[in-house]
Structure 1
Amino acid sequence: MSVARVAPAAPAATFVTSVAGAGAFALLSLADTGDVAPDWYPWPPCGLGGLIGGCLGARLQPCLPATGLRLLLGSLAAAAVALHAVQAPA
């Protein structure tokens, strides 16, 4: 079976476990007075972005050399880290 065919299963499984984890914390927030509930605002776009990224990455993988993919993913990861570092409260 090709990578492009099975690669979307990993983000889909992560999405399902994220739903289960968020549901568990939502239930815990009903029984506790502390701030336990998940932050719902960023969760759906992040999950959907991971699913789309997994499918897109599987489609691009045969078209790009391994070095190109490493540079692309490394650059995206470094940019995300830099953005979070700049936005982090002091």
Structure 2
Amino acid sequence: MDIWNGEKEAVRDHVIVENRTQPSAVHMRSYVDERYKITIYYGQSYGKIFDLQEDPNELNNLWDDPDYASLKTNLLLKYAWAELLKELLSMPRVYGA
């Protein structure tokens, strides 16, 4: 609402994109921030990483490049945190606990 009202420019610094080839299954997800895009595939150890600033057409996949191993780790962690942020954080009282 703050963005629609012009009170804030942004509420987050990333977006998560899901692609489904079947209505009940997610087959890949991408975490995209201002500079990078990382894509992971369900049940697979391969993926994609693109530097959107240096490679806007997404032609150079950095996933297996050893020079970008630290970046891959950092982006995977940011993706995990972003997924966790989708959960409600309120902790309601449980009677008798």
The TM-score bracket by the shorter chain reads 0.3 to 0.5
TM-score, L = length of structure 2: 0.33
* Structure possessing the higher relative contact order (Cα contacts under 8 Å, 6 or more residues apart): 1
Higher helix share: 1
Higher strand share: 2
